[in-house]
Amino acid sequence: MLNTLSGRFLILTTAFVMFAEVMIFVPSVARFREDYLLNRLERAQIASLALLADDMIAPALEAELLQNAEVFNVVLRRDSASELVLSSPMPRMVSHSYDLRIDGPYALIRDAMLRLITPENQMIRVISQPVREGGLVIEITMDTEPLRKAMLAYGLNILILSAVISIVTASLLFFAVQRLMVRPIKGVVGAMISYAKAPEDARRIITPKTRVHELREAENALLDLQTELTSALKQKDRLAQLGGAVARISHDLRNILTTAQLFADRMEQSDDPGVKRAAPKLINSISRAVNLCESTLTFGKAQEPAPALTHVVLADVVEEVFISERLVAAGHDIVYSTDISAAFTLRADPEQLYRILSNLVRNARQAMVAQGGQGALSITASEGADEWFIRISDTGPGLPKRAQDVLFQPFAGTNRQGGTGLGLAIAAELALGHGGRLELQSTGPKGTVFSVCLPKGLSHNP
């Protein structure tokens, strides 16, 4: 029970209530002592008034009056003169004097605590003002044993009452916490355990029920987390299945392309000038397709192959991308431009850099074709102290907010009918493999700008 939330709450509540009662106990006992002494003074004053009414009082009656007042002597000052009104033999000397007229709260508490811890029976003198203006000052002497016994009995009653109040309060709070907090928390924990057994089962996703605001927020957060995780797991399964299918297709496609590559090599030996000009580009395209098939076959076994870094002339790679895109976009009024110097080089894997730029340019071209078949696309480059920057700008319609939120997620970041959403995901992964990053700099009705940042060092973690 000590390791449970409700059990600890019960113990802490009891302890705190008891602590509060102890803080009340000290001034309460001090107040009880003061009232006890004032009561003895009042009873002594009443006894002295009986004597003042009849100067000739029998010694037996005087002793009875003192016994009823539980005092030994009574001194009353009236008209500036002190008079020993009642007296009896004192068994011991007076050890302490207390003037209730001048004692403040601190002195009352101190004297009360000292009396509780002093078991010895002592004789004390108590001074105060008479009630109902029965004189100037009244003074009595009395034993401390009856006072201490009364204080102990009063203190014990307070402690018993405090314990009862603590137990009742703690029990009520215990059941309230069980109902309002522990039970909903156990419900959340149970939902988590149930979901962990089969996260793909959407029926196990939590349904928020509690009306406690904080726990409701926790349930809503868990609901969002479980929903996203279930979707991610389903997407992961689909990707795994797709990867297996693509790997099988790529195996056969590689064989077909290898045969086509052999025929392209023979075409290069042709005497036809047109064939000689087209053959190298055809060979490059087929080689690139074969390389892509080889990389696809590793899907499911490992991630994208590590880039083979070398010094690359960026303008040559951009020109190859533009040539390929112009052939595909024939019949559309799209202008491709670049102002990259022929001397601009960077460290990258040429094949992977081609794929990065090709995916970005293809997406831009398809967006402009979809909005009317006209537009402009440009690639620029610059370098900083630690990075190279390649910017791909287009005059397309821009990306909607829903596409921006999942821009680099496979099968999610597409805004084109029939698109797969793989292009940007592949480009981002390849840039990350270089230690760089792919960023969306801006997008809107006037166009979109992507930036590829590649580090100059061997590794770079932006």
Q: What percent of the chain has pLDDT over 70?
A: 77
For residue 170, the model assigns a pLDDT of: 76
More confident residue, 255 or 127: 127
Answer whether residue 146 is part of any domain.
Answer: yes
* Averaged pLDDT, 420-444: 85
Listed ranges 132-136, 256-260, 411-415; the one with the highest mean pLDDT: 132-136
Mean pLDDT of all residues belonging to the chain: 80
pLDDT at 412: 58
Domain's final residue, options 168, 189, 204? 168
Give the residue, 294 or 132, on which the prediction is more confident: 132
Which range is least confidently modeled, 221-235, 272-286, 348-362, 408-422?
A: 408-422
Confidence of residue 418 (pLDDT cuts 50, 70, 90): very low
Residue 2 banded pLDDT, cuts 50, 70, 90: low
Q: What CATH number did the domain enclosing 387 receive? A: 3.30.565.10
pLDDT digits (tens, 9 = 90+) for 16-56: 877 777 778 888 888 998 999 988 888 888 777 766 655 55
Instruction: Answer whether residue 370 shows pLDDT above 60.
Output: yes
Is the pLDDT assigned to residue 331 strictly greater than 90?
no
Average pLDDT of span 300-313:
73
Q: What is the mean pLDDT of residues 306-331?
A: 86
Is the confidence at residue 133, as pLDDT, over 70?
no
Total domain count, the chain? 2
Q: What is the pTM of this model?
A: 0.43
- Is it the case that residue 88 has pLDDT exceeding 90? no
Mean local confidence (pLDDT), 104-124: 90
Boundary of a domain, candidates 131, 150, 168: 168
Residue 152 has pLDDT above 50, yes or no: yes
Task: Give the pLDDT of residue 45.
Answer: 80
> Is 423 contained in some domain?
yes
Task: Note the pLDDT of residue 457.
Answer: 77
Tell me the mean pLDDT in the region 58-64: 71
Q: In which band, very low, low, confident or very high, does the pLDDT at 212 lie, cut at 50, 70 and 90?
A: confident
How would residue 350 be classed by pLDDT, with cut points 50, 70 and 90? very high
Asked whether residue 277 is domain-assigned, the answer is no
pLDDT at residue 251, rounded to an integer: 54
Mean pLDDT computed over 405-416: 65
Classify residue 352: in a domain, yes or no: yes
Q: With 50 as the cut, is the pLDDT of residue 419 above it?
A: no
Whether 376 maps to a domain, the answer reads yes
pLDDT value of residue 53: 57
Domain range enclosing 374: 306-455
**Within-domain flag for 276:** no
Q: Judge whether 323 lies within some domain.
A: yes
**Which domain-ending residue is among 120, 146, 168?**
168
In a domain, 224, yes or no: no
**What type of residue sits at position 452?**
V
User: In this predicted structure, what is the pLDDT of residue 192?
Assistant: 87
pLDDT higher at 317 or 332: 317
